[in-house]
């Protein structure tokens, strides 16, 4: 039966852990708080070490909290991260998204810095600053940086932050056996979308939307073991999805994947969703990494990376690229469908549309169509934001709290 | 056919390839392709400083991809390919032509009909000249545009 305005606005008849107020996807104030409370204290993937193969190679990264960063491999081979902001007049220091720079020189007044963040030279320093200010006072702002979990470069903006290993906890245990060999990036693209970053993470956190994908409807969902895949929740909002065997030959134009992944069963597939907006996705022959960079409550850039093994032969690499593109490339079958889906959510939930609730109520013993992944995310979101996702403005009547399934 | 006529035939082949794809005439497009046709979409990423391949198919693979399109959920906004043939280098010994064309792709929204530039790049075509008429043997779509929003299912 269709709903009246009152019925539409009424809280869903689910426990408060099983739905969220859709204003958390559109409110500018909440978005500002998310940058401070979620993204700044979290460890975020900035790039992969194979993007910085040589000393003095650098890569730019816009941190989800808004800070422009330079990730650079030093002359000592150590990877470090700095603000891409000149300490002089606040200009951008490096403009190109990647390169090699023994000296990082600001184009504005030619102040230059080494790969360890030291200021090397201030133009006409003595004439202008006499003894009041020198290059020793003009270092770059360094932020925490570690290379870990498959050679990815992680950054954290807080000097006093939780250690990376503590932040991740046991969430990467499921993937660690498959990340013992060096990986190498072969694919990178960005998708700029009018939607909220959480909606993308939601899509990566639930498989019920496999109904969106023709490919999955006739492959994964039809196969034994599909409904046995389980979600496992970890502290700090992370979650994993267990494996299954995909029979690619069920899809016309596809075929059983000839190139596998060390240690991974043929056709295997594992996922790790990391709070607040990153996903590791190891599917048969390819590792895909998503990093969400929110630009506003209804605007996000998602960075997509595809990786193979550094030791790949040209033939193996070509096969991995083919496998990646079939499903996950910009012209791939599934990625376009997923991105179209979250863009539609962004359109329906933008400010003023009277979208009210998002239901996350499926319970199937934590298996593949259970919505535990999203519920777990929003439990952590609510804890860190000090706002319940089901009632972010505390307008509703208190309900008995039920533990997240 | 003299060289001018050959060049005209090659140019017309490039333009017909755009028209057939714009009109979703997949069979018409594939009829312009040689049996050994290979199709690639590539792009260079200044971010990772690597050439990337985003799509690679042979003629059979293209046929399957295009035939399967209605089974997927897709953006149904039509796209329009605007090609300008820049150079045609005829190699009579090989019976081939190497053709470079500029490409602009526009997308028109179904609701309201607003058009926007979707992508720019180039076609690098290899055209077979022997037989009944020129046929596409290989097409590399080299994109400058790498940000395609929510993407697209139909090859350019």
Full pLDDT tens readout for chain A, 405 residues = 999 999 999 999 999 999 999 999 999 999 999 999 999 999 999 999 999 999 999 999 999 999 999 999 999 999 999 999 999 999 999 999 999 999 999 999 999 999 999 999 999 999 999 999 999 999 999 999 999 999 999 999 999 999 999 999 999 999 999 999 999 999 999 999 999 999 999 999 999 999 999 888 887 787 778 888 899 999 999 999 987 766 666 666 666 667 999 999 888 889 999 999 999 999 999 999 999 999 999 999 999 999 999 999 999 999 999 999 999 999 999 999 999 999 999 999 998 999 999 999 999 999 999 999 999 999 999 999 999 999 999 998 655 555 554
The pLDDT of residue A215: 80
Nearest residue, CB atoms, B64 vs list A192, A253, A325: A253
Which residue from A205, A195, A365, A194 is spatially nearest to A276, judged by alpha carbons?
A205
Q: What is the average pLDDT score of chain B? A: 96
Give the CA angle between residues A136, A138, A141 to the nearest 5°.
120
What ipTM does the predicted assembly reach? 0.96
In eight-state DSSP terms, residue A238 is -
- Under an 8 A CB cutoff, do B75 and A329 touch? no
Asked if residue A286 lies in contact with residue A292, where contact means CB atoms within 8 angstroms, the answer is no
Q: What is the average pLDDT score of chain A? A: 94
Kindly state the helix (H) or strand (E) to which residue A371 belongs, with its residue range: none
SS3 at position B71: helix
Nearest residue, CB atoms, B147 vs list A186, A190, A213: A190
The pLDDT of residue A245: 66
Contacts of B83 (CB under 8 A, 6+ apart): B14, B15, B17, B18, B101, B102, B103, B123
- Note whether B54 contacts A: Cβ–Cβ < 8 A: yes
- Under an 8 A CB cutoff, do B41 and A322 touch? no
Best probe of the B interface among A48, A96, A188, A288, by most B CBs < 10 A, is: A188
Asked if residue A282 lies in contact with residue B16, where contact means CB atoms within 8 angstroms, the answer is no
Task: Give domain limits for chain B.
Answer: 3-143
CA distances from B36 to A348, B62, B96, B114, B124 (A): 45, 12, 14, 38, 16
Q: Which own/partner pairs from A147-151 qualify as long-range (CB within 8 Å, at least 24 positions apart)? A: A147/A49, A147/A79, A149/A175, A149/A176, A149/A179, A149/A280, A150/A48, A150/A175, A150/A179, A150/A183, A150/A280, A150/A287, A150/A307, A151/A48, A151/A49, A151/A50, A151/A179, A151/A182, A151/A183
CA B9 from chain centre, in angstroms, equals 17
For residues A223 and A244, what is the distance between their CA atoms, to the nearest angstrom? Answer: 9
The pLDDT of residue A219: 78
For residues A339 and A75, what is the distance between their CA atoms, to the nearest angstrom? Answer: 40
The pLDDT of residue B87: 98
Nearest residue, CB atoms, A330 vs list B48, B74, B148: B148
Nearest CA in chain A to B66: A253
In eight-state DSSP terms, residue A39 is I
Strands B135-143 and B33-45: parallel
Positions of chain B with pLDDT under 70: none
User: What is the helix, strand, coil percentage profile of chain B, to 5?
Assistant: 25, 45, 30
Contacts of A255 in chain B (CB under 8 A): none
CA distances from B129 to B18, B87, B136 (A): 19, 16, 9
For residues A48 and A185, what is the distance between their CA atoms, to the nearest angstrom? Answer: 7
For residues A115 and A118, what is the distance between their CA atoms, to the nearest angstrom? Answer: 7
Dihedrals φ, ψ of A128, to 5°?
-95, -35
Nearest residue, CB atoms, B73 vs list A188, A212, A329: A212
Kindly tell me the burial class for residue A129, based on how many C-beta atoms sit within 10 Å of its own C-beta (0-12, 13-18, 19 or more): middle
Contacts of B41 in chain A (CB under 8 A): 331
Domain B3-143, what fold?
A: Nuclear Transport Factor 2; Chain: A, (3.10.450)
For residues B16 and B133, what is the distance between their CA atoms, to the nearest angstrom? Answer: 13
For residues A12 and A59, what is the distance between their CA atoms, to the nearest angstrom? Answer: 46
Question: For A329-368, what is each residue's pLDDT tens digit?
Answer: 999 999 999 999 999 999 999 989 999 999 999 999 999 9
For residues A371 and B145, what is the distance between their CA atoms, to the nearest angstrom? Answer: 36
Which residue from B152, B131, B133 is spatially nearest to B143, judged by alpha carbons?
B152
Residue with tokens 């019925």: A7
The pLDDT of residue A247: 63
The pLDDT of residue B102: 98
For residues A342 and A262, what is the distance between their CA atoms, to the nearest angstrom? Answer: 33
Nearest Cα of chain A lies from the Cα of B123 at a distance, in angstroms, of: 17
For residues A283 and A268, what is the distance between their CA atoms, to the nearest angstrom? Answer: 6
Tokens of A27: 């409110």
| Strand partners of residue B15 | none
For residues A241 and A144, what is the distance between their CA atoms, to the nearest angstrom? Answer: 29
Tokens of A351: 């400010």
Nearest CA in chain B to A340: B150
Asked if residue A136 lies in contact with residue A121, where contact means CB atoms within 8 angstroms, the answer is no
The pLDDT of residue B82: 98
Nearest CA in chain B to A214: B72
The pLDDT of residue A191: 98
For residues B86 and A188, what is the distance between their CA atoms, to the nearest angstrom? Answer: 29
Residue with tokens 């992508």: B119
pTM of the model: 0.95
Q: How many Cβ atoms sit within 10 Å of the Cβ of residue A118?
A: 13
Asked if residue B99 lies in contact with residue B142, where contact means CB atoms within 8 angstroms, the answer is no
E strands, B10-95, are 33-45, 50-58, 79-91
CA distances from A9 to A290, A396, B140 (A): 34, 12, 52
SS3 at position B19: helix
């Amino acid at each position: 039966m269709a709903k009246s305005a009152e019925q539409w606005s009424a809280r869903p008849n689910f426990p408060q852990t099983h739905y969220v107020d859709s204003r958390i996807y559109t409110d500018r104030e909440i978005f500002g708080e998310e940058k401070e409370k979620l993204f700044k204290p979290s460890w975020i993937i900035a790039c992969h070490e194979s993007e910085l193969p040589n000393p003095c190679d650098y890569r730019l990264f816009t941190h989800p909290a808004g800070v422009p960063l330079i990730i650079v491999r030093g002359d000592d081979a150590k990877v470090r991260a700095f603000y891409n902001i000149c300490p002089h007049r606040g200009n951008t220091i490096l403009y190109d998204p990647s390169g090699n720079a023994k000296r990082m020189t600001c184009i504005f007044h030619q102040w230059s810095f080494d790969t360890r963040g030291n200021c090397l030279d201030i133009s006409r320093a003595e004439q202008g600053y006499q003894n009041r200010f020198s290059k020793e006072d003009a270092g770059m702002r360094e932020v925490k940086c570690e290379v870990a979990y498959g050679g990815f470069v992680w950054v954290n903006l807080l000097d006093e932050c939780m250690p990376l290993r503590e932040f991740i906890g046991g969430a990467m245990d499921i993937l660690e056996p498959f990340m013992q060999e060096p990986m190498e990036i072969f694919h990178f693209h960005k998708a700029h979308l009018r939607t909220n970053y959480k909606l993308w993470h939601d899509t990566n956190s639930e498989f019920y939307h496999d109904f969106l994908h023709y490919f999955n409807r006739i492959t994964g969902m039809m196969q034994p073991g599909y409904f046995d895949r389980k979600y496992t929740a970890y502290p700090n909002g992370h979650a994993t999805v267990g494996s299954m065997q995909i029979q690619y030959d069920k899809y016309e134009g596809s075929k059983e994947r000839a190139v596998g992944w060390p240690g991974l069963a043929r056709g295997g597939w594992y996922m790790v969703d990391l709070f607040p907006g990153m996903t590791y996705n190891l599917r048969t022959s390819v590792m895909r990494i998503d990093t969400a960079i929110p630009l506003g409550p209804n605007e996000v850039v998602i960075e997509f990376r595809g990786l193979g093994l550094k030791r790949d032969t040209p033939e193996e690499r070509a096969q991995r690229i083919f496998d990646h593109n079939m499903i996950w490339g910009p012209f791939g079958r599934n990625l376009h469908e997923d991105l179209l889906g979250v863009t539609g959510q962004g359109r329906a939930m933008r400010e003023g549309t009277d979208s009210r609730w998002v239901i996350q109520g499926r319970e199937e013993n934590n298996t593949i169509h259970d919505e535990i992944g999203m519920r777990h995310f929003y439990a952590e979101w609510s804890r860190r934001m000090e706002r319940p996702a089901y009632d972010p403005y505390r307008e509703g009547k208190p309900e008995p709290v039920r533990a997240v399934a | 056919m003299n060289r001018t006529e050959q060049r005209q035939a090659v140019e017309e082949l490039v333009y017909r390839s755009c028209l057939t794809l714009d009109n979703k005439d997949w069979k018409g497009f594939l009829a312009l392709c040689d049996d050994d046709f290979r199709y690639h979409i590539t792009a260079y990423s200044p971010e990772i400083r690597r050439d990337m391949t985003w799509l690679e198919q042979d003629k059979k693979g293209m046929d399957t991809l295009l035939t399967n399109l209605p089974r997927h959920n897709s953006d149904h906004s039509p796209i329009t390919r605007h090609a300008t043939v820049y150079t045609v280098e005829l190699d009579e010994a090989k019976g081939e032509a190497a053709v470079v064309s500029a490409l602009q792709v526009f997308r028109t929204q179904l609701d309201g009909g607003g058009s926007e530039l979707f992508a720019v790049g180039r076609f690098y075509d290899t055209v077979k000249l022997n037989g009944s008429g020129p046929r596409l043997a290989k097409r590399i779509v080299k994109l400058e545009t790498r940000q395609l929003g929510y993407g697209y299912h139909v090859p350019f």
